[in-house]
Amino acid sequence: MTVMLQSVRDAGSVTERDAEALLALEAATQERPLALATLLRESGPHGVILLARDVSNGEGVLVGFASARLSVDEVDVIRLAVDADQRRRGTGRALLDGLVGWAEEVGAAAVVLEVRAGNVAAQQLYAAAGFTQDGRRPRYYPDGEDALLLRRPLVRRTATPTTTPARAQRATTAGGV
Ligand SMILES: CC(C)(COP(=O)(O)OP(=O)(O)OC[C@H]1O[C@@H](n2cnc3c(N)ncnc32)[C@H](O)[C@@H]1OP(=O)(O)O)[C@@H](O)C(=O)NCCC(=O)NCCS
C-alpha cells in the first residue's frame, strides 16, 4: 500500500466520497461520532485535518484520517483512525508523523493527546513515535474508562507559535481521540 497525506481545512476541499469514507471511519471508531462540519469546527482555524489515501491502485481511496488543533503552544490530537481492514500497514504512523510535522511547522512546544487506558494498539503506536505518559484522567470517557495523557515534546523551529488561540478551545472536544 502506498499512502499519501492531504491536509484539508474546510468542507469544500473534501469530496463527497471522502466525506462518506471519513464519516464511516468516525462511526466505526467513536462512541459518539461527529459530523464532518463538527470535526472541522473542532480542529478550528488553528488546526488541521489530514486524509490518508491509498494511491497504490490509482483510485486514492481514503483509508484513514487524523485531526489536531493548536491550543496556545501545544498541539492537541483530536482524532486518529485507520480503516480496520487496512491497519498494521504504516498508515497510523504516517498520519501521526504528519500531525507532528505540522505541529513543528506551527512552532508548537509539544503534541499532546488522550488515549483510552485499554487501547493497547494506539498506545504502542504512540510509544514508538516518542510519546510518554504525562498523567491520567480517571473515568474520562463516557463509559467510565480512564484516559492516559500522552505528550511528545518538540524541538521548536520557530520562537513562538504562529497562532495563539485561547486555551479554552481544548475543552470543546468530548472524549478526545
Ligand atoms: C491506532 C490505529 C490508528 C493504528 O493504525 P495503524 O495504521 O494500524 O498503525 P500502523 O500500521 O502505523 O502501526 C504502527 C505501530 O503501532 C503499533 N501498533 C499498531 N497497531 C497495533 C496493535 N493492534 N497491537 C500492537 N501494536 C500495534 C505497532 O508498534 C506498529 O508497528 P508495527 O506494525 O511495525 O509493529 C488504528 O488501530 C485505529 O484506527 N484504531 C481505532 C481508533 C483508535 O484507537 N485511534 C487512536 C485513538 S487514541
Which ligand 1 atom is at minimum distance from the Cα of 88? 11
For 60-74, the pLDDT digits (tens) are 999 999 999 999 999
- List domains and CATH numbers for the chain: 3-165 (3.40.630.30)
Positive or negative torsion for Cα 5, 38, 137, 29: negative
Does ligand 1 lie within 6 Å of residue 156's CB atom?
no
Does ligand 1 lie within 6 Å of residue 92's CB atom?
yes
Q: How far out from the chain centre does Cα 106 lie?
A: 16
Round to whole Å and give the CA distance between 69 and 56.
30
For 123-165, the pLDDT digits (tens) are 999 999 999 999 999 999 999 999 999 999 998 765 566 654 4
* Catalytic site includes residue 114: yes
Please name the helix (run of DSSP H) or strand (run of DSSP E) that holds residue 112, with its range, or none.
strand 110-116
For 26-72, the pLDDT digits (tens) are 999 998 999 999 999 988 888 999 999 999 988 899 999 999 999 99
Q: Given 26, 42, 74, 114, which residue is catalytic?
A: 114
Does ligand 1 lie within 6 Å of residue 170's CB atom?
no
Q: Tell me the whole-structure pTM to 2 decimals.
A: 0.91
Distance, CA 162 to ligand 1 centroid (Å)? 31
Q: What is the per-residue pLDDT for 157?
A: 65
Strands (E), 117-157: 132-137, 147-153
Q: What is the per-residue pLDDT for 45?
A: 82
Residues contacting residue 57 through CB under 8 Å, at least 6 positions apart: none
